[in-house]
Homo-oligomer: A and B are copies of this chain.
Amino acid sequence: MDRLLQSVKININENIYVKDPESSDLGKRIIQESILMVNEMGFESFTFKKLGVKIGSNESSIYRYFENKHKLLLYLASWYWGWLEYQLVFATNGIGNPKEKLKKAIEIVTKVTEEDSSFSHINEVLLNKIVINEYSKSYLTKEVDAENKEGYFIIYKRLVTRISDMIKAINPDYKHPSSLSSTILEGSLHQYFLKDHFPSLTDCKEGNDTSTYFQNLVFSTIKP
C-alpha cells in the first residue's frame, strides 16, 4: 500500500484554505504542528499566535493559509475523512461478496488508527484523536448550512453514502441505510471517546472491540 499512496494527494475543497498548505514548506509545518498542538491543548486553547511561536513563524503568515482556526479544523477533518475514504475504497475494491465487502468497510472505519508513512508531515494517530475530540465542533455551529452548501463536508458525506450503498446492496428493503451508516461513523468516534473518558458507558475496551460491536450491530439489523 505504501508505495502506491506515495503519489496520492488528499483532495480538499479549495475554499477551505486561502493558500494550499501542501504547496509550501511553511504550509506543511502549519499542518504538522497544528495536529500536535490541537491534540495537546485542545481546540479551544489552540491559537494561531501560539502556533506561530511553535513553528518559528508569524501569526500573520498563518492567516495567509487559513482564514481562522475553524477553517483549519475543517481542513484537518477533511483530510482525515479523505484519507479514510481512500483506505476504504482501496481495501474493499476487489471484494465481490457484498457481505464481505461491508464487513471490511466497517472494519476500516472503526478500527484503531495506525500510522501511514506515506504522509510524513501528518501524524494520523493524533489526527484520529483530534477527530474523536473535536470533529463535532466543526459542524455544531450556526454556519453549518452555509458551509455545507460550500461543500466543506463533502468527503464525509461521500463516506456515509458509500457505506449506505453497501448496506443497500445486501438488503435493498432495509428502511434506514443512511441512518445506519451515519450511526457507524459517528458512533465509532463516540465509543472511542467513551473508552477514554466514560469507560462505564461502553463495552469497547481494546483492539477490535469497536469493530466487532458495529459489525454485529449492522449485520443483525439488516439481515439478508
Instruction: Name A residues whose Cβ lies closer than 8 Å to a Cβ of B.
Output: 41-42, 44-45, 133-134, 136-137, 139-142, 144-145, 148, 153, 157, 160-161, 175-183, 186-187, 190-191, 193-194, 197-198, 200-204, 212-213, 216-217, 220-221, 223
Residues of B within 8 A of A41 (CB): 142
Q: Which residue of B lies closest to A180 (CB)?
A: B217
From B179, B197, B200, B217, give the contact of A139 (CB < 8 A). Answer: B197
Residues of B within 8 A of A161 (CB): 200-201
6 closest Cβ contacts across the A-B interface? A42-B142, A176-B203, A136-B136, A220-B221, A182-B201, A179-B203
User: What is the CA–CA distance of A45 and B141 in the complex, to the nearest angstrom?
Assistant: 10
Distance in angstroms from A80 CB to nearest chain B CB is: 16
Can you list 28 A-B contacts with CB-CB less than 8 angstroms, sorted by A residue number?
A42-B141, A45-B142, A136-B137, A139-B193, A139-B197, A140-B193, A148-B198, A175-B212, A175-B213, A175-B216, A176-B213, A178-B203, A179-B191, A179-B201, A179-B202, A181-B201, A182-B190, A182-B191, A182-B194, A182-B198, A183-B183, A183-B187, A183-B190, A183-B191, A183-B217, A216-B221, A220-B221, A220-B223
User: What is the CA–CA distance of A190 and B179 in the complex, to the nearest angstrom?
Assistant: 10
Distance in angstroms from A217 CB to nearest chain B CB is: 5
User: What is the CA–CA distance of A41 and B143 in the complex, to the nearest angstrom?
Assistant: 11
Residues of B within 8 A of A216 (CB): 175-176, 221
Residues of B within 8 A of A190 (CB): 182-183, 186
CB pair A217–B213 under 8 Å, yes or no, is: no
Residues of B within 8 A of A212 (CB): 175
Distance in angstroms from A131 CB to nearest chain B CB is: 11
CB pair A201–B142 under 8 Å, yes or no, is: no
CB pair A137–B137 under 8 Å, yes or no, is: yes
